[in-house]
Structure 1
C-alpha cells in the first residue's frame, strides 16, 4: 500500500480562505472506496494502491477548477514501500516503539 500527502491550493480566488475547497476535497474522498484518507491541518493523507492514489489525486486537483479557480498548485509526496506492508498507522507505531526505547534508556 502506498501513502501520499496531498496539498492543493487554488490561486487567484476571491478570498484567502481555503476551507470551502478543503471541504470539497473531503467530499470527493468520501465517495472514493479505493482509498483511505485523513485530513490534517496542512494537507490530506491518502492510502491505497498507487494507481488508485494517482486517480484520486487527479480528481482532487480538478476540484478548484470546477469551483472557478483559474490556476491550481498541487503538491504531492508519495511513500510507496514494496518490501513490506505499510500504512500511516504502522509508521506511527514504529516511531512510538523507538520513542519507548529512548525513554527506557534515559
Structure 2
C-alpha cells in the first residue's frame, strides 16, 4: 500500500483564502475509488494501491483549474512500502510504541 502526502496550491486566485478550494478537493477525493484519505491542517494524506493514489493525485491537481485557477503548484511525497502491509495509522502507532518503550 502507498501512503502519499499531497499539498495543492492554487496560484493567482486573487485571495489569500484557500479553504473553498480545499473543500472542493475533499469532495473530489470522496468520488475516488480504492483510496482512503484524511485532511490535515497543511496537506491531505491518501492511502491505497499506488495506481489509485496516483489517479487521486491527478484529480486533486486538476481540481483548482476546474474552479478557475490559472496556475497550480502540487507537492507530493509517497511512501510505497511493499515488504508488509502498512498505513498512516500504523506508522503513528509504531512511533507511539517506541515512545512508550523508552
TM-score range, shorter chain: over 0.9
- 2:15 maps to 1:15: yes
Partner of 2:76: 76
Deviation at 1:14, TM superposition (A): 1.4
Q: Any conservation in 1 of the 2:7–2:75 contact (CA below 8 Å)?
A: yes
Aligned to 1:42: 42
Question: Secondary structure in 2 aligned to 1:72?
Answer: strand
Instruction: Provide structure 1 residue ranges, at least 5 long, that are not aligned to the other structure.
Output: none
Deviation at 1:32, TM superposition (A): 1.5
Question: How big is the alpha-carbon RMSD for the aligned residues of Structure 1 and Structure 2?
Answer: 0.6
Q: How many residues align?
A: 102
**Offset of residue 33 of structure 1:** 2.8
The alpha carbon displacement at 1:30 in A equals 1.1
Offset of 1:39 from its aligned partner?
A: 0.1
Runs ≥4 residues deviating over 4 A: none
Task: Identify the residue that residue 96 of structure 1 maps to in structure 2.
Answer: 96
TM-score of the superposed pair, with normalisation by structure 2: 0.98
Unaligned runs of 5+ in 2: none
The Cα offsets for residues 8-63 of structure 1, whole Å up to 9 and x where unpaired, read as: 00000010101000001100111123110000000000000000000000000000
